[in-house]
Each structure stands twice: as structure tokens, then as C-alpha cells.
Amino acid sequence: MTARAAVLAGIGSAVPPRVVTNHDLAGRMDTSDEWIRTRTGIAERRVVDPGTATSDLAIAAGRRALDSAGDPGVGAVVVGTATPDHPCPATGPIVAAGLDLGTVPAYDVGAVCSGFLYALVTGAGLIAAEVADSVLVIGADAFTTIVDPHDRTTAPIFADGAGAVVLRAGSPDEPGALREMLLASDGLQADLIRVAAGGSRQRSHHTEALREDLYLTMRGGEVFKNAVLRMTESSRTVLARTGWSTADVDLLVGHQANVRILHAVAEQLGVGLERAYVNIGHTGNTAAASIPLALDDAVGEGRLHAGDKVLLTAFGAGTTWGAVTLTWPDRLSRAGAPATSAA
């Protein structure tokens, strides 16, 4: 019997309507458009308005993906996020209810900027195990809600958004099938990127959290080196397992963390920069949303065609990382430009 594979059947994304430019940031902190652009490649980002939560973005992106797939019924929902609506309950069931999907299993995967890849592999596993015939996989984050708006090291980088794909059961050799998948982590580096307060570690002391502990901190230099190393290593591994060379890759879609990281990974892999997709300039770093948002933008720009060999790779807090290979499907309609979502 031929093993079941997960096949890409739909795609969609959503961003908040509010645009924050580098010039806007320069008006409230010691920075400039030139400083931000040269270090990150970011010119502007989307930011949620008060009252808008991760589930609002995820529902809008999920609806787009379902429409793209022809509005099929799905057997499960997996949401990759580091900014759930609440510590309890999970955001996945809220999203499933918001999409009128009934009582399907729905849950969150927490791997921060690697969250979409972790959710994607989880969705593929549900299909392979015959738990579900189709899965809605969403990467969504309102990441600016955990970033100090006055911190010049993090506020210029992070943004909000959501991206989603529909996976269906199919055969491993058909266009759109996910090929090789790799996930990994190193908890010994958990302090590279973290929010110190809000979890059981801090709450068990029953003391008031310090303001600075409520926001994300990041050791940028070490994150840069580890991101390039891990994304490159995992990419090489899945390429070898797939039987592809770097010359075979039509499009490299990495986590949109920083344009210098994306270029460094492409250069180390030997993938020409023209084949390394970058949309961080107008999206910022949207954490778990960045890869599906980038894929949806690439579709809208005509950068992806039937049969294209695609390499996905990400690195995030935890630390976590991974890579996935897939061929682009023959027919994948995009349900318009990314939706704008507000509560």
C-alpha cells in the first residue's frame, strides 16, 4: 500500500490594517529609517490595534486558505503561535469555532518563529496516521503585544500577521506533496530569546512581575549566528534526503527574521539570492506567520509555478528549527491579496 502524503491544497494570509513605518518609530525612539533598513531590511510592518488578538488574524487567514482550496471540510486545525489569545484555553479551538468547523480537533503548537513548520509537520502527521483526511494549518502571531514598543532592539523588527494552508491526503509523488521534513530543538539555549514573566516559573513565586520581564528579550548576535547555522544545516539535510541539489531549488522561503540572515543562509547553501524569497521589507518579522505569509505573497507575485521545487526553513526561540521540501501544486488559486483583519 502506498503511504499517504500531505498535499498542499489551499493558501491564504491576513495582516492588520495599521501600517507602522520606520519613520513612525523614529518619532518615538532613538533610531532612524536608515539604521533599521541597513540592519534588518525592514521598511514597514503591520501592527494590531487594541482589541485585536491572534485568533482574529488566524480566522481571517484560515478563511482565505479554505476559500483557496474550494472551501472543503477539514478534519483538524493546528495553529502555530507564541501569542495565544489567553494562557488558557488554547487558540486553536477558538479559531475552529470562528470558522464554523464544528467539533474538529483543534490545538496550538508553540515553537515561536519555527511554529508554522512545526504545525505543518504535525498536520502532515495527522494525515499520514489517517487521523484526518485534511488539515488546516495556520501560523499566526500578534507578536507586537509581547514587544516593548520603546525598545530599539526589538520594536523595529517584529510585527503581526497570519498565514494558512490547507493540506489534504494524497500520494507522495503528486505535485503539491510535502517531501522531506526535519524538526529539531536545543533547550540549553532557551535564554537566547524569551519573555521571562507570565509563565509558571515566574507565577509560582506569587510576586508581581517586573515590567521589563513582561517583554521579549533577545541576544541578537548569538541568535544571528545560530539561525544561520541551524537553517543551513537543516536545509542541507532535507535536500539530501529528498535527492535534490541546491541547484534544483526553485525558491528558498526562509523565516523572515532579518534580510541578512536570509542572504547568509542562501549564500552558505549556494542558492542564488534571486531564488531566496524576501518580503520582510513590508511585513517585518511576523514570527510563526512569516513563512505562510511569504508563500502567499510569492503566489501573488507569480514567483511560484506548478512543479517548482520549494525549500522552507526556519529558526526560532526554544531554540527550535527545521526545514521542509515540497513541490508546488498544479492548481492552487489564491483568494485575493492578504486580508486585513481587525477585531
Q: Give the active site residues.
A: 113, 255, 285
- Residue 127's identity, in one-letter code, is I
Q: Which residues contact 61 (CB under 8 A, 6 or more apart)?
A: 12, 13, 14, 138, 140, 161, 162, 163, 164, 289, 292, 338, 339, 341
Q: Which of 188, 137, 202, 143 is nearest to 165 (CA)?
A: 137
Beta bridge partners of 5: 170
Pairing mode of beta strands 134-142, 160-170: antiparallel
CA–CA distance, 259 with 151 (Å, rounded to integer): 20
Closest by alpha carbon to 113, among 141, 76, 94?
141
DSSP letter at 228 equals H
